[in-house]
Chains A and B, each alone.
Chain A
Amino acid sequence: MTVSSSTLAPAPARDGEDPARMRRRPFPRPGNSSIAIGATILGTITLIALAAPWLGLADPYDSNLAIRHVPPVWDSVGSWQHPLGTDHLGRDYLSRLVYGARISLLVGMVVTVMAGCIGTTLGVLAGYFGGRIEAAIDFVITVRLAMPLVLIALAVVNVVGSSLEIVILVLGLLLWERFAVVARSTTQQIRSQEYVAAARAVGCSTPRIILLEILPNIYGPLIVVATLEIAHAILLEAALSFLGLGVPAPLPSWGLMIAEGKDVMYFSPWVITIPGAALFVLILSINLLGDGLRDLNAIEGRN
């Protein structure tokens, strides 16, 4: 697959194509605009989440059974007092939504950092040393891929007891395989480069070579993996919470909010559409950012 992309680079190959195709050839790479859009949305969500305590919102845990299931402001009976309405315990939905963003972002970040450390370490070791170490690590990766992720996570969370920390820990220990695969293949590609050989010839120690020569040169693709894994972790946390074995109530996890609204979704669909749409927009922005970064990396890689 990678072989053919380098063979199509020479100019003569392009002369044979019809002019209409030629004109279209440098078709707009979505790279930069998708980074801009993704980063803007993600940045806005992050800022709002960070500033949540100072936004003058209602207490996300303050329930009032007298005002259950108040519809959002765009509904005829809605009011600005609760712009997005209230949930089944009369808690302010907007406030829960904003505080829920904190949970999603926290899960995404911490899980990705944990998984990134595990996966990158394994991948770099496999790619750098090759041979038996690589075979062993390959086996570990295959085992991890074969494990039914959701079921294992559910089972562990159920026995240990659900809490935000446990969910983060379990996902962090499970979501490293893409980092490992990418770190391994990129390390393999650069392990025989001159600068690595030079470092070895000067007598640099192996840890030094890995930390100072290998890692700085593979972090581009790893950043791309990291953005996509943040999205993956956020989606999984939401799914686990939705199934009732993730972040426990009364924490305002978006997945949990959807689960809590499920019973009344026929009568007041906004109870599930609002947190679901928030989740969708957050994941979309992260994916846009990741896709854009990947395109940038691909362009750099070609030179």
Chain B
Amino acid sequence: MLEFLLRRVVLALAVAFAVSIIAFSLLRLSGDLAQELAGANATALDVQLLREAYGLDRPLWAQYLQWAGQVLRGDLGRSVFFDEPVADLLAARLPVTMRLGAFALVLALVVAIPLGILAAMRPGTWVDRIALGTALVGQAMPTFWFALLLIVVFGVKLRWLPVSGNDSWRHFILPAVTLAYFAMPALMRLTRAGMLEVMSADYIRTARAKGLRPSSIILKHALRNAIIPVVSVAAVQLGFMLGGSIVVESIFALHGVGYLGWISVQRADFPVVQAIVLVLSLVFVMLTLLADLLNAKLDPRMRGSRR
């Protein structure tokens, strides 16, 4: 177990390292950052000065080593636009994104798991059809469009909820619903498929034969096994939501990491973009690690068989 954990932590660090190299080189190889920073009206001298100020005239590997060395010492650099340490900017915004992601994931699970169980209990009936239909619609719904519809209906027509900002928990409802509907279909389908498969297993037949109450069979015997793949997908979905929250945060003006990323991209604030890519990839890798650990806890069979 300890070896497995250690191996995964090393892998996580290696992945974050690789992502940082890719993000770094993509930003630098794909265009002239100094020109981008200076804007369209800048003189050649301005561009040259900026290039020197940010060390953009040095070889790529030297720039990377300097940046990586700083990151290892906990210094994510300074934002070009805010003229503040990137670490401070992230520290202020990460909780917003985390809250949004957690809220959305809980919402998605609270809908997906009961719906998946109900659908699996009565496959082919109207319950199942409603569940599958909801999932199908959710998968086809463009997130940003769904967000705008929610704004028009609940924010403007009905005036129930605020549509912009992150001052109170009520500001999180519409963004969380948007993200949750994006994550729900996969989780629901997986719960349904898992339950369908598990319900015809021998141990469920035994439990039935013993005369256990259906509710106890479903919750104690079946769900515990059916939920295992859901756990890992939920973790991955949370990772995607944190990365994908850029769209939702920009629509609802929720000042989280995604919003910061979006405006920083537009301002060519590359130290911020780089740091966000690094942090988001680290979070993603950590989430998958967490999912593996949870799985090992839920399913003893997986502890030995992992490479």
> Interface on A for B, CB 8 Å cutoff?
1, 4-5, 7-8, 13, 16, 24, 27-28, 30, 139, 142-143, 145-152, 154-156, 158-161, 231, 235, 238-239, 242-245, 255, 258, 262, 265-266, 269, 272-273, 276, 279-281, 283-284, 287-288, 291
The distance from the CB of B234 to the nearest CB of chain A, in whole angstroms, is 15
Interface of A is mostly: helix
The 8 closest A-B pairs by CB, nearest first: A27-B124, A159-B31, A148-B243, A276-B145, A284-B140, A146-B281, A283-B140, A148-B280
Given A154-B265, A287-B136, CB of A262 within 8 Å of CB of B197: no
Taking CB as reference atom, which chain A residue is nearest B264? A155
Q: Which residues of B contact A276 (CB under 8 A)?
A: 142, 145, 148-149
Taking CB as reference atom, which chain B residue is nearest A160? B30
Asked if B261 is an interface residue, CB under 8 A from chain A, the answer is yes
Given A1-B229, A8-B200, A159-B27, CB of A139 within 8 Å of CB of B15: yes
Q: Which residues of B contact A7 (CB under 8 A)?
A: 201
The distance from the CB of B45 to the nearest CB of chain A, in whole angstroms, is 22
Which of B26, B156, B205 lies in contact with A156, CB distance below 8 A?
A: B26
The distance from the CB of A279 to the nearest CB of chain B, in whole angstroms, is 5
Q: Is the CB of B33 within 8 A of A159?
A: yes
21 contacts between A and B (CB under 8 A): A1-B197, A1-B229, A4-B197, A30-B132, A143-B15, A145-B236, A148-B276, A151-B258, A154-B265, A158-B268, A159-B268, A160-B31, A161-B31, A238-B142, A239-B247, A243-B262, A258-B148, A262-B148, A272-B148, A279-B142, A280-B140
Chain B interface, number of residues (Cβ within 8 angstroms): 61
Q: Which residues of B contact A146 (CB under 8 A)?
A: 15-16, 19, 239, 281, 284-285
Taking CB as reference atom, which chain A residue is nearest B209? A16
Q: Is the CB of B15 within 8 A of A142?
A: yes
Asked if B250 is an interface residue, CB under 8 A from chain A, the answer is yes
Q: Complex: how many Å from CA A9 to CA B152?
A: 50
Q: Complex: how many Å from CA A267 to CA B137?
A: 26
Given A154-B246, A156-B26, A160-B31, CB of A27 within 8 Å of CB of B142: no
Q: Which residues of B contact A262 (CB under 8 A)?
A: 148
Which of A151, A238, A288 lies in contact with B265, CB distance below 8 A?
A: A151
Q: Complex: how many Å from CA A158 to CA B141?
A: 26
Q: Is the CB of A155 within 8 A of B148?
A: no
Q: Is the CB of B139 within 8 A of A287?
A: yes
Q: Complex: how many Å from CA A156 to CA B24?
A: 11
Q: Which residues of B contact A235 (CB under 8 A)?
A: 142-143
